[in-house]
Amino acid sequence: MPAMLSEDMKAINRYFMEQAQIKTPAAEKVKQEWMKFWKETERTLTWYSQDEYDAARNLKHKFDLANTTNAAEKASVKEQQAKGITSEEMRGETRRAGTSGDYLEDPKPLIPTSWKVGAVAGIGLVAVGVFGKKLLGMTPLGKIAKFLP
């Protein structure tokens, strides 16, 4: 990773903390999201991963869009994000941003992990309910099983 990423990350943080003027409640929420992200990733080391840098740039883009107050301003921000020169292009490298201007991240799973855990727990409880009563009938505790629903 280029050592420059550290300075680029600090520049994005300075933008959020010193330069950005919040115009909308949505922008305030994104700034809070940035502050949480920065607290989790800030370090004294000079190396940040490309994924962290891309996530930071995506948050900045999200903030800039959320901070617009009308459709014309929003369209202008979207066009600038999609067609503006990226830091990679300024260094003579290939543009990494997608056609919308956002930097590609790993796709989110179709079914969130929390739902998967809940489904497994639910199936487990159903299995215990269905088969547990039958299993209790085969033990000395079987006498109690007749009181189970």
pLDDT value at residue 1: 44
**How many CA atoms lie less than 13 Å away from 126 in the CB half-sphere?**
6
Read off the pLDDT of residues 19-55 as tens digits, 9 standing for 90 and up. Answer: 989 999 999 999 999 999 988 887 666 678 888 888 8
- Give CA separation, 122 vs 10, 56, 133, 146, in Å: 45, 37, 17, 23
- Give CA separation, 142 vs 42, 111, 132, in Å: 59, 40, 10
Read off the pLDDT of residues 72-117 as tens digits, 9 standing for 90 and up. Answer: 999 998 888 888 887 777 878 777 776 666 766 556 667 777 777 7
Cα separation, 11 vs 15, in Å, equals: 6
Contact 61, 55 (CB under 8 A): no
pLDDT value at residue 132: 61
Quickly count helices (H) and strands (E) in the chain. 7, 0
Return the residue matching tokens 């209790």.
136
